[in-house]
Structure 1
Amino acid sequence: MKIAFVVQRYGEDIVGGAEYFTRLVAERMSKYHEIEILTTCAAEYHFWKNEYPEGHDVLNKIRIHRFTNATKRNPNKHTKIQETVYYSTHSVNDEISWITEQGPNCPELVKYISQNRNKYDCFVFFTFRYYPTYYGIKEVENRSLIVPFAENDPALDLSITKEIFESASGIIYCTPEEKKLVERKVDIKKEKVSDIVGCGIEIPASIPHSEKLENMKYVLYIGRIEGSKGCYQLFEYYQRLVKEVPDLPKLVLAGLDAIEIPKHNKIKYLGFISEDDKYSLLKDAEFLIMPSPYESLSLVTLEAMGCGIPVLANGECDVLKGHCLRSNAGLWYQNYEEFSECFRFLCSNAQKRTKMGENGKRYVEKNYSWDIIEKKYLELFCLFDPGQKQTIS
């Protein structure tokens, strides 16, 4: 089969989030089918500037077809119209204006899908809230799957979101919590094909100790450092707790800094890190802290569990709380008092941390090994070629 993966941006230097997830799945599924990426020339998501060259490219043997965005996002305009469609009475035209400004505004990509839809057996759209998904899925309704990456925010309440899910032939959820959320918010028909799949987690067999933080006790945050990821609250809670318990482990941060990190002798920022450094840092951390209130899967949470360290998560996020409950490998908080208690408990109970780490490894192996993930994708692809029997290589 020839299958198109449609995603808003794609590249080796795009780490984390839906785009990184897409690349991992594409590279694994290329063992079984011809996978081609249809994407834009954007490398970043704030303005969708055209940075990659237009046309064809190849990354890790995956063919990529990039299209130029017609416009950059106007942040002020985007914020204004988003406030309207999220929180005020509005029209469908307002929602259309929002999806255009949300971007990436790439009519050439949609035009290509329309003109070449018969060249592909199936189109898989990654992330529901972007222009290429809304317009692209309309062109290939009966040959489309969507991986929504849905979070509990007002975008799920929009009428254009309902259109997207109605148009798709099937839905690939990341977690049970995401499935429950979408079915509740969007009123998915019972006959709609779906499965809870997620992404494979592959932990290196041998992980060296981190040279960056040798002999240092620390808790770790990896990801975009911004308000929507709960980082303001994390800084507030951590600095408050340090005043009460001065000998706490340091808070180490790695990833893109989109806000001003507090200057504090117990907070250390590493910037971007390599994949090898990521696993070394995870292995040596006391635990991972995940303060985000909005997640649809959280690869780094699963990577931490796969490395055998516990997770302290924001309990306002049902997905993160669900991982902790099913794995028995994490704790969660919903206010400062709970944050303080959980943080201190994990710091002072090495045996409990070890046990939770073992639980996490089993959870990841049972639910997120690549053979399980690949089998589920292959079964869904059979919807578009039922005569073809799929086997795991």
Structure 2
Amino acid sequence: MKIAIVVMRYGEEIVGGAEYHARMIAEHLNNYCQVNVLTTCAKSYHTWANEYDNENEEVIKNIRILRFKNSKTRKVNNVLAIEEKIFGNLAHTKKDELDWINENGPNCPELIKYIEDHYDDYKAFIFFTFRYYTSYYGINAAKGKAYLVPEAENDPALNLSTTQEIFQNVNGILYNVPEERKLILNRVPFSEKEKKWDIIGCGISTSLPKQDQVLKIQQLNNYILYLGRIEGSKGCYQMFDYYLKLVEEDPSVPELVLAGSTSIPVPKHEKINFIGFIEESYKGSLLTNANFLIMPSPYESLSLVTLESLAYGVPVLVNGDCDVLKGHCLRSNAGLWYQNYDEFKECISFLINNKNITSGMGELGKRYINKNYSWDSVEKKYLDIFDN
């Protein structure tokens, strides 16, 4: 059986949630069938500029990677101008929506032509995220064999007629969490009864950190951890505001350690420790030694880092405005959520001052991951979808 994973960017240095999710699924499905990845030459999701070489096929962990050049770069101002028109105006046309898809990109007609030309070579094409050029045109080209991992957040693009087309044209939908499925069914008019579908998400693995990693991380002591891209859309501005206010009121609060790439300024403060991008192998050490993980994002479709924290037995504090994150907390009993500063303050106080309870929360988090996000379970669900 030969399967194609279609995703906007691909590579071990690509840390975006959807792209990382796609890479993990590709690597694990490759144990059961031949997996090819169809992707673009882009590294940056801001511009989709062609940075990877597509002259020679690349093999990463025994997976064949086929890269195709984008025909143009993404111009943010053009995208925003069209979004203002189509997201806030019910009277817009389908042409307006197609203009947005073409501008938002990654505009890669060569990839779509490959799907058309090699349709018979694959049993299935799995598309990651619903809102990009590669999914809209690719699903049309792969009709009859197309499956979608929507990665849907509370997004105005869910209201578009082109989004309705995507969900109408796929064979199957592989949701991440119940909240994502509910959101899509409430916003997108299509018949789910005609589709194969399941709530799957992504498998989560843990590994014991090496001793040199432990020694390095032990230099960090008594901290709250933020792990991931540091940007406004992830709720980081509000997190900084709340944390700095809290430190002013209570200087004994543990320091805030930030690990990841940043696209916004990190406040200069003695209790905010920005350590930058870290290798994947250090993630377990950082999580294991943290008091808890904070995830302030108001928009998530799964949040792999939240699940990884639970897998390591580390409680989480999340933005309660995100139904997906709140759902993880409710189902696992391994996290708390806040929706304003006072709740933020009280949750942090509780997590810091009730070690016996947080230890129990950590064990509940591990059980939640073992039950819902083990690789054995995720792999079986994917294979069942295709076998049926």
Regarding TM over 0.5, the answer is yes
Cross-structure match for 1:136 = 138
Q: How many angstroms does 1:327 deviate by?
A: 0.3
Asked whether the equivalents of residues 256 and 271 of structure 1 are also in contact (C-alpha less than 8 Å), the reply is: yes
Partners of 1:28 and 1:16 lie apart in 2 by 18
Partners of 1:79 and 1:226 lie apart in 2 by 18
Structure 1, residues 244-299: CA drift from partner, whole Å, max 9, x if none?
Answer: 11110001111110001111111111111011211100000000000001111111
Structure 1, residues 315-357: CA drift from partner, whole Å, max 9, x if none?
Answer: 0100000000000000001111111110111111111111110
Partners of 1:168 and 1:214 lie apart in 2 by 50
Cross-structure match for 1:199 = 202
Cross-structure match for 1:349 = 354
Partners of 2:61 and 2:331 lie apart in 1 by 34
Asked whether the equivalents of residues 182 and 188 of structure 1 are also in contact (C-alpha less than 8 Å), the reply is: no
Aligned residue identity for 1:67: F
Q: How many angstroms does 1:207 deviate by?
A: 5.9
Asked whether the equivalents of residues 210 and 284 of structure 1 are also in contact (C-alpha less than 8 Å), the reply is: no
Q: How many angstroms does 1:85 deviate by?
A: 1.5
Report the 3-state secondary structure (helix = DSSP H, G, I; strand = E; otherwise coil) of the residue aligned with 1:195: strand
CA 1:340 to 1:63, structure 2 compared with 1: closer, same or farther past 3 Å? same
Asked whether the equivalents of residues 58 and 66 of structure 2 are also in contact (C-alpha less than 8 Å), the reply is: yes
Structure 1, residues 130-177: CA drift from partner, whole Å, max 9, x if none?
Answer: 101000100111111000000011011111111000000010000011
| Structure 2 residue 288 is the aligned partner of structure 1 residue 283 | yes
Q: How does 1:1-393 map to 2 (within 5 A)?
A: 1-55=1-55, 56-89=57-90, 90-191=92-193, 192-206=195-209, 208=211, 209=214, 211-214=216-219, 216-383=221-388
Cross-structure match for 1:386 = none
Asked whether the equivalents of residues 42 and 49 of structure 2 are also in contact (C-alpha less than 8 Å), the reply is: yes
Q: How many angstroms does 1:84 deviate by?
A: 1.6
Pick which of 331-340 and 213-222 moved more. Answer: 213-222
Aligned residue identity for 2:15: V
Partners of 1:282 and 1:69 lie apart in 2 by 37
Kindly report the root-mean-square deviation, in angstroms, between the aligned alpha carbons of the 2 structures: 1.1
Report the 3-state secondary structure (helix = DSSP H, G, I; strand = E; otherwise coil) of the residue aligned with 2:379: helix
Aligned residue identity for 1:115: D
Structure 1, residues 55-93: CA drift from partner, whole Å, max 9, x if none?
Answer: 411101000000000000001111111122112242111
Identity of aligned residues (%): 56
Asked whether the equivalents of residues 207 and 283 of structure 1 are also in contact (C-alpha less than 8 Å), the reply is: no
Partners of 2:80 and 2:134 lie apart in 1 by 20
Q: How many angstroms does 1:188 deviate by?
A: 3.3
Q: How many angstroms does 1:205 deviate by?
A: 3.9
Aligned residue identity for 2:87: Y
Report the 3-state secondary structure (helix = DSSP H, G, I; strand = E; otherwise coil) of the residue aligned with 1:82: helix
Report the 3-state secondary structure (helix = DSSP H, G, I; strand = E; otherwise coil) of the residue aligned with 2:216: coil
Gaps spanning 5+ residues in structure 1: where? 384-393
Aligned residue identity for 1:12: E
Aligned residue identity for 2:333: N
Partners of 2:83 and 2:36 lie apart in 1 by 32
Asked whether the equivalents of residues 210 and 281 of structure 1 are also in contact (C-alpha less than 8 Å), the reply is: no
Q: How many angstroms does 1:127 deviate by?
A: 0.6
Q: How many angstroms does 1:22 deviate by?
A: 0.6
Cross-structure match for 1:389 = none
Structure 1, residues 82-121: CA drift from partner, whole Å, max 9, x if none?
Answer: 1221122421111101111111010111111111111111
Partners of 2:105 and 2:218 lie apart in 1 by 40
Partners of 2:46 and 2:159 lie apart in 1 by 23
Q: TM-score, normalized by length of structure 1?
A: 0.95
Asked whether the equivalents of residues 72 and 107 of structure 2 are also in contact (C-alpha less than 8 Å), the reply is: yes
Q: How many angstroms does 1:187 deviate by?
A: 2.6
Count the aligned residue pairs: 383
Pick which of 212-221 and 122-131 moved more. Answer: 212-221
Q: How many angstroms does 1:190 deviate by?
A: 3.7
Gaps spanning 5+ residues in structure 2: where? none
4+ residue runs over 3 A deviation: 205-208
Aligned residue identity for 2:114: Y
Aligned residue identity for 2:255: K
CA 1:255 to 1:206, structure 2 compared with 1: closer, same or farther past 3 Å? closer
Partners of 2:95 and 2:296 lie apart in 1 by 35
Cross-structure match for 1:388 = none
Partners of 2:12 and 2:296 lie apart in 1 by 26
Report the 3-state secondary structure (helix = DSSP H, G, I; strand = E; otherwise coil) of the residue aligned with 1:263: coil
Asked whether the equivalents of residues 36 and 64 of structure 1 are also in contact (C-alpha less than 8 Å), the reply is: yes
Asked whether the equivalents of residues 148 and 171 of structure 1 are also in contact (C-alpha less than 8 Å), the reply is: yes
